[in-house]
A and B are shown apart, each in its own frame.
Chain A
Amino acid sequence: MSADAELRKGSAETLVLALLEERDRHGYEIAKLIERRTDGALAFHVASLYPTLYRLERRGLIHGRWVERAGARRRRFYRLTADGRRTLEAQRRSWRAFFTALNRVARFRHA
């Protein structure tokens, strides 16, 4: 695993949790959404997204299950758990405090 993975992992996890807060989604959808909403600045592909998802699932923050709908393929959907919701809130607070502090010093307006 590469070096600053810790930080990337932290932010990737927050992104995934935030997307699942809105509704249940499958992996491909999550990847597409991250790419679209960051205008391509952040991109996940199959080899980087799934380890994040499995890690979150292992930690009980999300829960995945196979869903078969008529006329569509069998997909694995992920849902945010109560633990996940709490963690997301905690991470939001943390990041907000960080950006506020950073902004106070560096005076840049983040998107």
Chain B
Amino acid sequence: MPDFRALVRARLGPLRLDPARAADIVDELAQHAADHFEELVAGGMPEADALAAALGPLNGSGRAAAEIARADRARRSAPAPPPSPRGVVVADVWRDARYAVRLLARAPGFAAAAVVTLALGIGANAAIFSIVNAVLLRPLPYADPSRLVVVGGRGVDNRAGNLGYLTFVDWRARSHAFDELALIRSWNPTLAGGEGPERIAAMRVSANFFALVGVAPVLGCDFRADEDTPAARRVVVLSDRLWQRRFHGDPQIVGRSIDLSDGAYVVVGVMPRRFPPLVSEHFYQAAELWAPVGYDAAQPFACRSCQHLKALGRLKRGVTIAAAERDLGDIQAALGREHPADYASESGVAVVPLADEIAGAVRAPLVVLMGAVVFVLVIACANVANLLLARLAARERDLALRAALGASAGRMIRQLLIESAILAASGAALGIGAAAALVPLVARLTPVPIPRLGDAHVDVAVLAFAAALTAATTIGFGLLPAIRATRFRPLAALAGGGRSSGAAPTAVARRLLIAADIAIAVALAAGAGLMIKSVGRLLGVDPGFDPDHVLTLQLSLIGPQYAKNETVVAKGDEMLARLRAIAGVDAAALAGQIPLGGNRDAWGFHVEGRRWTADDPSVERYSVTPDYFRAMRIPLRRGRLITDADRATTTFVMVVGDRTARALWPNEDPIGRRVRIGGTDGPWFTIVGIAGDVRHDALAEPPTLQMYTAQAQLTDSFLTVVLRTSGDPAAIAHEARQAIASAAADVPVYQIAPLGDLVQKSAGARRFLMVLLELFSGVAVLMTAVGVYGVVSYSVAERTREIGIRTALGASRVDVVRLVLGRGLALVAAGAAAGVALAALTTRFLQQSLYGVSATDAPTFAGVVTILFAVAAAAHLVPIARATRVDPIVALRQE
């Protein structure tokens, strides 16, 4: 007769009870096992088998010990109530819910894993949706915003471009598609007054602008049509912000005169606080001040080809975009015939919804991000479904018992769905909380201006969206386990140890879910990989100048005191002299604009001796002082640069960019040639040199046609100071500002930035998208790794017996590793293959944001698949270690 006491004690492990009580329990269990053994042997079973059967339930279980100890220590508590006969559904649901909460509370690890996973999925979705809702979905905060459009000449990218004043006048007179057509142009006056000169972002508008958007001043009144003339246009409407900031909300402001750069203006109105300057912000800078355009046909800059104005329209009710475009197209065609010299031969028109125009550039990245977070949510759901299925396998017996006791399939599905719903709701609550905290942070950290991003917050729409997500996820991850649960064969499950039926199909479902996880993770990681490559390529682009150690400051020499070009040039030279005196400044220059500075200053370019047409190219112009090339380190290719000897009284000279030289003089030497720029009556400029091209609009855009003129000869008033420094450029910002103020106290200085920042900013939008995609794909890969780990561990646990037999039959550790890894990696391979296909389908939505890399870049895809394999293999390590430690004897006894 075996020593059952010793056998039981060995299997039970420490009980953590008072020793006498523990001894009692061991005695009692040993007695039970001995009885069982004796009976089995008496029934004819071999002793070894009988022993295994009698002690089997205690095998491999600190669990039995823990349960026994817990039961023995248990405090008096209410006995579990049998189901109540009151069959009211609400009461049932309430009871199910309480029951589910109790169950989840007992499995805190499982509950926490599920809730955190769902919180990540739902939180990321709520956050991105908040942004999408604010930026893309919420209607513009103007009256009947769906009828607001931008109209203009059709640009290369089908957007509405600029137009000249006379063109606009004819459109307005002849078109029947619009209730209103309004003009806008940028304006940057300097406001004088108590707190020093300040450059104000402003906008010139036609008198009907505010009527067109449907917002009236809250104080005073709107512009009158008769104020929109050259003589009467000295009236302004203030933004609430400017009114508060500079005039302390003075209620008597209407009728007061304020001093702007070109004279006194009378304040006629103040706009309401809730009037976001989306139009000015999109096209220029967020305006704080508006004044009438006040053009008439006689002015030189009112000409048809003076395309510096933009036009907005309010469509008549019932008029479609296409109809309005046809209407304006016909008018434009007629104008082309009437004024053939003023319009390029291929001048179409474009009518673009204002909402699309404003959201345009960010729409594609936001849609990509929305897709990415939906992917994350799908992975989260798959993982939680996986957790639930694994838990279900452990719960089979309990469910079977419920079924045997009369629980219907519907009732059990309900119970499981309620459990899922509680998990999903907790995850959603946590996720929405996180999103509410994160959205303002994201809005603040965005390196690029995204229209209306500041309005993004978790609101009713977001909550509704999250609620819908929660419902969908509940069903998504809860239904499969619930349906599985009803398929048990109750008696079989009860009679067997609980590990018999149903395990295989559950395992198949779990493996499918993991394969889907891997596929999605591959697609997300591929997107992130492509963005990383794009940003790398972009920052690797040679901008044509050296942005390191360069500080830039902007200033404007405008107002009556700077009416004369000589004054501007002299004041500029004086400033440069003082700036050069600062220790650490190696070169100082002025330029009308700098690359990547967000300006455009393209002039029509007419070569002497060639026929002039309206189709002559536009060339980007930089009006610079001689040191500009040294400060920017733009190389001279041939000829000479602009020098101090080039003055207003000497021959006007020009340096052209490489591309300009090659495009306009493909087989000739441009040096010595003469051109006129802008109109046809200006001075001749003689080309003296050829410089390297620079990337002007963005790093991603190839160099434009470019030319340099001398600031002393063609003088600009809005200037950028460019300082090449030997040390950190930001360190001398204060000194530079003081030097400028000492030369001209009345000149506002703004937008002080190291040139390197502008370069970084040019990659900013892509970098932002890259960081978020990295984040989401990181989460996805992590979740997938956890999922793979779960499935593989589970399958190892399930196959302990098989592994034991194989080991007993002589399989080596290598064979065991191969067995586990082989099955696991086959799963990963299937998932990865599907992932590559999914990535190939989805990365094309990134197309617009990619640079220098194809949407199906093979090395990126290969890299991503390799990483996923490595991560999945790593997730196998622990289960493999467990499998190779399987003791065949123990494994065989388990059955």
Is A4 in contact with B57, judged by CB distance below 8 angstroms?
Answer: no
Q: Select the stretch in B65-73, B258-266, B356-364, B641-649 that faces chain A.
A: B65-73
Q: B72-85: contact bitstring with A at CB < 8 Å (1 yes, 0 no)?
A: 11111101111111
Q: Contacts A40-B495, A76-B28; is A47 near B397 (CB within 8 Å)?
A: no
Q: A5-35: contact bitstring with B at CB < 8 Å (1 yes, 0 no)?
A: 1111111011000000000001110010000
CB-defined A-B contacts under 8 Å, sample of 7:
A4-B398, A6-B102, A7-B80, A28-B32, A43-B495, A60-B76, A108-B406
Q: How large is the interface on B (under 10, 10 to 19, 20 to 34, 35 or more residues)?
A: 35 or more
For the complex, what is the distance from the CA of A46 to the CA of B107, rounded to whole Å? 24
State whether the Cβ of B103 lies closer than 8 Å to any Cβ in chain A: yes
Question: Contacting A110 at CB < 8 Å: which of B31, B406, B494?
Answer: B406
Beyond the given A6-B80, A87-B79, could you list 12 further A-B residue pairs with CB under 8 A, ordered by the A residue number?
A: A3-B391, A6-B103, A31-B32, A47-B57, A47-B63, A47-B64, A50-B32, A51-B68, A55-B74, A58-B71, A74-B27, A106-B408
Query: Which 9 interchain pairs have the tightest Cβ spacing?
Result: A4-B398, A101-B85, A51-B71, A10-B80, A47-B64, A45-B57, A47-B57, A54-B72, A28-B35
Shortest A63–chain B CB gap in Å is: 14
* Identity of the chain B residue whose Cβ is nearest the Cβ of A102 in the assembled complex: B406
State whether the Cβ of A82 lies closer than 8 Å to any Cβ in chain B: no
State whether the Cβ of B58 lies closer than 8 Å to any Cβ in chain A: yes
* Identity of the chain A residue whose Cβ is nearest the Cβ of B104 in the assembled complex: A3
Is A7 in contact with B495, judged by CB distance below 8 angstroms?
Answer: no
* Identity of the chain A residue whose Cβ is nearest the Cβ of B21 in the assembled complex: A54
Interface residues of B in 628-658 (CB under 8 A from A): none
Main secondary structure of the interface of A (DSSP, over half): helix
Residues of A contacting B56 in the complex (Cβ-Cβ under 8 angstroms)? 45
Shortest A3–chain B CB gap in Å is: 4
Is B33 in contact with A46, judged by CB distance below 8 angstroms?
Answer: yes
Residues of A contacting B43 in the complex (Cβ-Cβ under 8 angstroms)? none
State whether the Cβ of B464 lies closer than 8 Å to any Cβ in chain A: no
Residues of A contacting B80 in the complex (Cβ-Cβ under 8 angstroms)? 6-7, 9-10, 13
For the complex, what is the distance from the CA of A45 to the CA of B82, rounded to whole Å? 23
State whether the Cβ of B402 lies closer than 8 Å to any Cβ in chain A: yes
Q: B403-422: contact bitstring with A at CB < 8 Å (1 yes, 0 no)?
A: 01110100000000000000
Shortest A86–chain B CB gap in Å is: 11
Is A47 in contact with B61, judged by CB distance below 8 angstroms?
Answer: yes
State whether the Cβ of B106 lies closer than 8 Å to any Cβ in chain A: yes
Interface residues of A in 62-110 (CB under 8 A from B): 73-76, 87, 91, 94-95, 97-102, 105-106, 108, 110
Question: Contacting B79 at CB < 8 Å: which of A4, A54, A75, A91?
Answer: A91
* Identity of the chain B residue whose Cβ is nearest the Cβ of A7 in the assembled complex: B402
Interface residues of A, Cβ cutoff 8 Å to B: 1-11, 13-14, 26-28, 31, 40-43, 45-52, 54-55, 58-60, 73-76, 87, 91, 94-95, 97-102, 105-106, 108, 110
* Identity of the chain A residue whose Cβ is nearest the Cβ of B401 in the assembled complex: A8
Residues of A contacting B137 in the complex (Cβ-Cβ under 8 angstroms)? none
For the complex, what is the distance from the CA of A101 to the CA of B84, rounded to whole Å? 9
Residues of B contacting A8 in the complex (Cβ-Cβ under 8 angstroms)? 397-398, 401
State whether the Cβ of B154 lies closer than 8 Å to any Cβ in chain A: no
Residues of A contacting B395 in the complex (Cβ-Cβ under 8 angstroms)? 2-4
Is B84 in contact with A28, judged by CB distance below 8 angstroms?
Answer: no
* Identity of the chain A residue whose Cβ is nearest the Cβ of B400 in the assembled complex: A4
Shortest B497–chain A CB gap in Å is: 9
Q: Contacts A7-B398, A91-B82, A94-B82; is A46 near B29 (CB within 8 Å)?
A: yes
For the complex, what is the distance from the CA of A32 to the CA of B760, rounded to whole Å? 79
Is B67 in contact with A3, judged by CB distance below 8 angstroms?
Answer: no
State whether the Cβ of B36 lies closer than 8 Å to any Cβ in chain A: yes
Shortest A74–chain B CB gap in Å is: 8
For the complex, what is the distance from the CA of A5 to the CA of B350, rounded to whole Å? 70
Main secondary structure of the interface of B (DSSP, over half): helix
For the complex, what is the distance from the CA of A55 to the CA of B61, rounded to whole Å? 19
Question: Contacting B405 at CB < 8 Å: which of A11, A59, A75?
Answer: A11
Q: B689-720: contact bitstring with A at CB < 8 Å (1 yes, 0 no)?
A: 00000000000000000000000000000000
Residues of B contacting A5 in the complex (Cβ-Cβ under 8 angstroms)? 398
Is A95 in contact with B57, judged by CB distance below 8 angstroms?
Answer: no
Question: Contacting A50 at CB < 8 Å: which of B25, B391, B401?
Answer: B25
Q: Contacts A40-B495, A43-B495, A87-B79; is A54 near B68 (CB within 8 Å)?
A: yes
Residues of A contacting B36 in the complex (Cβ-Cβ under 8 angstroms)? 28, 46
State whether the Cβ of B491 lies closer than 8 Å to any Cβ in chain A: yes
Question: Contacting B494 at CB < 8 Å: which of A27, A31, A42, A49?
Answer: A42
For the complex, what is the distance from the CA of A13 to the CA of B81, rounded to whole Å? 11
For the complex, what is the distance from the CA of A75 to the CA of B404, rounded to whole Å? 33
Q: Contacts A7-B80, A28-B36, A47-B61; is A52 near B87 (CB within 8 Å)?
A: no
For the complex, what is the distance from the CA of A49 to the CA of B399, rounded to whole Å? 19
For the complex, what is the distance from the CA of A3 to the CA of B105, rounded to whole Å? 11
Is A98 in contact with B102, judged by CB distance below 8 angstroms?
Answer: no
Is A98 in contact with B401, judged by CB distance below 8 angstroms?
Answer: no
Is A3 in contact with B61, judged by CB distance below 8 angstroms?
Answer: no
Residues of B contacting A75 in the complex (Cβ-Cβ under 8 angstroms)? 31
Residues of B contacting A91 in the complex (Cβ-Cβ under 8 angstroms)? 79, 82
Shortest B347–chain A CB gap in Å is: 73
Question: Contacting A58 at CB < 8 Å: which of B61, B67, B75?
Answer: B75
Residues of B contacting A47 in the complex (Cβ-Cβ under 8 angstroms)? 57-58, 61, 63-64, 67-68
For the complex, what is the distance from the CA of A42 to the CA of B82, rounded to whole Å? 17
Is A2 in contact with B394, judged by CB distance below 8 angstroms?
Answer: yes
Is A4 in contact with B495, judged by CB distance below 8 angstroms?
Answer: no
Question: Contacting A7 at CB < 8 Å: which of B29, B54, B84, B405?
Answer: B405
Question: Contacting B70 at CB < 8 Å: which of A11, A42, A45, A51?
Answer: A51
Question: Contacting B71 at CB < 8 Å: which of A7, A50, A73?
Answer: A50
* Identity of the chain B residue whose Cβ is nearest the Cβ of A49 in the assembled complex: B32
For the complex, what is the distance from the CA of A95 to the CA of B84, rounded to whole Å? 8
* Identity of the chain B residue whose Cβ is nearest the Cβ of A29 in the assembled complex: B35
For the complex, what is the distance from the CA of A42 to the CA of B363, rounded to whole Å? 62
Is A2 in contact with B35, judged by CB distance below 8 angstroms?
Answer: no
Is B103 in contact with A3, judged by CB distance below 8 angstroms?
Answer: yes
Shortest A48–chain B CB gap in Å is: 7
Interface residues of B in 85-104 (CB under 8 A from A): 85, 87, 99, 102-103
Q: B25-46: contact bitstring with A at CB < 8 Å (1 yes, 0 no)?
A: 1011101111110000000000
* Identity of the chain A residue whose Cβ is nearest the Cβ of B33 in the assembled complex: A46
For the complex, what is the distance from the CA of A31 to the CA of B32, rounded to whole Å? 10
Shortest B125–chain A CB gap in Å is: 29
For the complex, what is the distance from the CA of A40 to the CA of B491, rounded to whole Å? 9
Is B79 in contact with A13, judged by CB distance below 8 angstroms?
Answer: yes
Shortest B3–chain A CB gap in Å is: 14
Is A98 in contact with B76, judged by CB distance below 8 angstroms?
Answer: no
Residues of A contacting B398 in the complex (Cβ-Cβ under 8 angstroms)? 2-5, 7-8
Residues of B contacting A40 in the complex (Cβ-Cβ under 8 angstroms)? 495
Name the residue among B54, B68, B71, B74 with the largest chain A CB count within 10 angstroms.
B71
Is A95 in contact with B82, judged by CB distance below 8 angstroms?
Answer: yes
For the complex, what is the distance from the CA of A26 to the CA of B30, rounded to whole Å? 13
Question: Contacting B81 at CB < 8 Å: which of A10, A28, A102?
Answer: A10
Residues of B contacting A14 in the complex (Cβ-Cβ under 8 angstroms)? 82
* Identity of the chain B residue whose Cβ is nearest the Cβ of A43 in the assembled complex: B495
Is B67 in contact with A1, judged by CB distance below 8 angstroms?
Answer: yes
For the complex, what is the distance from the CA of A26 to the CA of B54, rounded to whole Å? 17
Residues of B contacting A48 in the complex (Cβ-Cβ under 8 angstroms)? 57
For the complex, what is the distance from the CA of A10 to the CA of B402, rounded to whole Å? 11
